[in-house]
Amino acid sequence: MRSMLYGIGAMSLLVPYTASAYAASLRVSPTSLELVAPETAGVITLTNEAQRPLNVQIRVFRWTQSDGEDHLEPTGDVVVSPPFTSLPANKDYAARVLRLTRQPVAKEEAYRVVVDELPDPSRKRAGTVSLVVRYSIPVFFKSEDASPPKVAWGVVKSKGGLVLTAHNTGDTRLRLADVRLLQGSHFVAGHKGLVGYVLGGASTHWPIQAEKSINPGPVTLKVQSESGPFDANIAISGR
Each residue's pLDDT tens digit, 194-220? 999 999 999 999 998 887 677 777 899
Q: Are residues 75 and 164 in the same domain?
A: no
Q: Report the distance separating Cα 172 and Cα 201, nearest Å.
A: 8
Q: Is residue 15 part of a domain?
A: no
DSSP structure class, residue 6: H
Each residue's pLDDT tens digit, 33-68? 999 999 999 999 999 998 899 999 999 999 999 988
Domain count, the chain: 2
Residue 161 belongs to a domain with what CATH number?
2.60.40
Q: Are residues 32 and 136 in the same domain?
A: yes
pLDDT value of residue 233 = 94
Write down which residue in 142, 171, 198 finishes a domain.
142
Q: Are residues 110 and 174 in the same domain?
A: no
* Whether residue 30 has a cis bond before it, omega within 30° of 0: yes
pLDDT of residue 231 exceeding 70, the answer is yes
Q: Count Cα atoms within 13 angstroms, Cβ side, for 20.
A: 4
Each residue's pLDDT tens digit, 137-191? 999 999 999 999 999 999 988 776 889 999 999 999 999 999 999 998 889 899 9
Write down which residue in 90, 122, 142 finishes a domain.
142
Q: Confidence band (pLDDT; 50, 70, 90) for 127? A: low
Rounded mean pLDDT of 231-239? 84
Range of the domain at 68: 26-142
Q: Is residue 14 part of a domain?
A: no
Q: Confidence band (pLDDT; 50, 70, 90) for 16? A: very low
Rounded mean pLDDT of 100-104? 95
Q: Are residues 34 and 119 in the same domain?
A: yes
Q: Are 179 and 220 in contact (CB under 8 A)?
A: no
Q: Is residue 2 part of a domain?
A: no
Phi then psi for residue 5, to 5 deg, are -60, -45
